[in-house]
Amino acid sequence: MMSESIDNQKFPKLDGLPVDICIFTLATERRIELNENVDKRTLKSYPKRSLELLLVQRLHEPFQDKWALPGGFTDIETETLEQAAIRELKEETYPDAGSIGDGQVSNKIYLEQLSTYYRPDRDPRGKIPSVAFIALVNEELLSGLRAGGDAKQARLFQVNMEVQDKMLYKSEDGNTKIDEADFAFDHGKIIRDAIQFVQNKMLTTTIAVKLLPREFTISELHQVISAVVPTFTPSTSNFARDLVKTKSRDGMLEEVWDEQGNPKKSTIYSARPAQLYRFRNEFEPQVSIYPRV
């Protein structure tokens, strides 16, 4: 029993616990570049959105040159797992990512503990655990990184969800394509678990908000969900109508109005102005496979 073991001092006090983070973002790529001499109507077509994951290439053995999740240690005496994850997140992304909270780091970052991995064969140097986190980070916070590969060889990889075996390939130049065999440790397994976790959260909670601007059109929300969950393919017109009109989703979204009290609209993706919405954070999603509740 636990009490006996700890009381007998069998267990050494830890210096820290390893933390690895699956940092996801949703990349938005206009189908046609702005500087080209094209019809502005075509320019406004829906962008290509792809789920991307931040990986770092290992400099040393074991797994030298393999790709791994960014991670670190809870190395301060008073630091929690979440605080360590946020610290690492900041190192890899935006230095001003925000303060600490329970899955509510900032309105542009979602952070949640995924699971702890501790299979004896996961690290050739011995039995070392890893507490894995997932983070959804708004694209703009990773813009610095995307400008080019840095010293640590951190790169964003597009997640290819059609094939479940060969999962990832490089986004920027498309040259580096990697699959499960190119991952260090058990990070391939962690990443598979993380993608499933994020997909599930995307369909059962309102985390889509972390991948959207504060005010967005219904079609943007549609784009985000179907980029993360490829099987999500309702007709855009029914989706827009149902989202706002259906009773069980009352209070999920609210229309945005400007100072004059007129409906605030956006023409970012369309010639015809589209109504802007925002998520209301009072909304508590409820899902069940059984009737009622």
Partner DNA sequence: TTAATAGTGTCTTTAAGACATTATTAA
Partner DNA sequence: TTAATAATGTCTTAAAGACACTATTAA
Residues contacting 291, CB < 8 A, separation 6+:
none
- Of 10, 60, 125, 247, the residue at the interface with DNA (CB under 7 A) is 247
Residue 59 interacts with its own copies (CB under 8 A): yes or no: yes
Residues 201-260 that bind its own copies (CB under 8 A): 203-206, 225, 229, 231-234, 238-239, 242-243, 246, 249, 252
Cβ neighbours, 10 Å, residue 263: 11
Among 120, 148, 174, 261, binds its own copies (CB under 8 A): 120
Judged by beta carbon distances under 5 to 8 A according to partner kind, the member of DNA, its own copies, none in contact with residue 35 is none
Q: Which of the ranges 15-23, 135-143, 174-182, 256-264 carries the binding residues for its own copies, by CB under 8 A?
A: 15-23
Q: Are 212 and 227 in contact (CB under 8 A)?
A: no
Q: Which of 51, 156, 240, 253 binds DNA (CB under 7 A)?
A: 240
Q: Which is nearer to its own copies, 231 or 260 (CB)?
A: 231
Write down the least CB distance from residue 41 to DNA, Å: 4
CA dist., res. 220 & res. 222, Å (int): 5
Q: For residues 79-98, which are near its own copies according to CB under 8 A? A: 79-81, 88, 91
Smallest gap from Cβ 105 to DNA, in A, equals 29
What residues make contact with DNA under the rule CB under 7 A? 39-42, 44-46, 217-219, 234-238, 240-242, 245-248, 265, 267, 269-275, 291-292
